[in-house]
Amino acid sequence: MLEKPVTMTNNDTSMEDLLNRTTNLTVLDDEGWEINESGGSEVNALCAMGRWCSNRPMSRSLLRTILGRVWGISDRDWSVEIKLTTATASFLVFSFKSTKDLNRILAKNPWFLNNGILILERFNGIPQNWENGLSKFPLSGRIHNLPAKSITKGNLERLSGFAGEVLEIQKIDIPKMVSKGFFTFKVMYDISKPICPGFLFPFEGRKLWLPYRYDRLPYMCFNCGFVGHDTRVCAEPMKFVEDGLGNQLPGYGAWLKIDEKKDYLYSQIKNPSGVFSSNFPPPGFKEKPSSTSEVIHSGGGQGINPIPEFKTGVTMEASKILASFLTILGRRFWRKERAG
């Protein structure tokens, strides 16, 4: 085993730090006031600022206990100060003993906790107005059900843009997107807007509901769709979305989080004939109540076929591929069983 030289055992003392210290010269400004150039970079290397988005503010000691555990960092290696608390957020400044700890924590920004979300940024001076900053964080997810004919770079960008400022979009691969039933995206989400639950997409004279799902769901309100408070304290009425079939359904719920086990395609595999069960809800929607009287609001009054949106597009083609795949697999298995 190679051993680190004794002088390198302190993680805090990198070559960069040493160089910084040797060039730690104080200069004078026009009016003779001293300026320590390295002061700024030291703060930058060891401090962060944060917005704790929650209707449940935490005391300094609770922040230290909870974040210390979540980050796996001992009390003596970091500290936090609460600078401002409002009804929806607390603004914080963190200082760390080691740049390595700070970088590791910033790399996983934002931090999703049970009762709030912590948005972090490297410290670059106390802001003039805390509430204007720290309002964006990266959010990744999937958009389902886009018909094959509509899979174009422009459409993917436009649809992803409804979730936030686009950072990344899955490279166009129509067969792959069709077989999976979705494409992936990553955006910079802004907390001044609600989470995008889906989009009613115009297609061949009809409207298709394209559900959005997210890899991780921040602490959010299932009434209004905003991040940073929960349903119990929300004064807004519950938001509904039109599903393209004349139904008004709740826009927000735990289903917005990707759950591979409950994936839409998984349910299709259970029914490999390619025929959809009429009770099957669109992905992103709750199970359809068996009695129509339980439907919250049904538009029109015309006979609603609950599944026409699946007759075309990504999911229908995907189901056919899956069905034939499963048939082949089944035959092989049956032959094997007989042979054995």
Summarize as ranges the residues that interact with Zn ion (CB under 5 A). 221, 223-224, 234, 236
Give me the least distance between CB of 193 and Zn ion, in Å please: 13
Q: What are phi and psi of 333, to 5 degrees?
A: -65, -40
Handedness of CA 188, 191, 193, 196 (dihedral sign): positive
Q: Which is nearer to Zn ion, 56 or 207 (CB)?
A: 56
* Distance between CA atoms of residues 318 and 316, nearest Å: 5
Q: Could you count the other beta carbons within 10 Å of the beta carbon of residue 323?
A: 17
Q: Which is nearer to Zn ion, 174 or 234 (CB)?
A: 234
Contact 250, 286 (CB under 8 A): yes
Structure-token pair, residue 216 = 């991780």
Give me the least distance between CB of 286 and Zn ion, in Å please: 19
Structure-token pair, residue 195 = 């989470």
Torsion, Cα of 106, 127, 163, 116 (10° steps): 60
Q: Which is nearer to Zn ion, 236 or 259 (CB)?
A: 236
Contact 145, 177 (CB under 8 A): no
Give me the least distance between CB of 194 and Zn ion, in Å please: 9
Give me the least distance between CB of 236 and Zn ion, in Å please: 5
Give me the least distance between CB of 226 and Zn ion, in Å please: 5
Give me the least distance between CB of 190 and Zn ion, in Å please: 16
Q: Which is nearer to Zn ion, 168 or 236 (CB)?
A: 236
Q: Which is nearer to Zn ion, 174 or 238 (CB)?
A: 238
Contact 318, 147 (CB under 8 A): no
Q: Which is nearer to Zn ion, 227 or 316 (CB)?
A: 227
- Roughly how many angstroms between the first and final C-alpha of the chain, as a whole number? 52
Whole-angstrom CA distances from 339 to 310, 326, 332, 335 are 39, 20, 10, 6
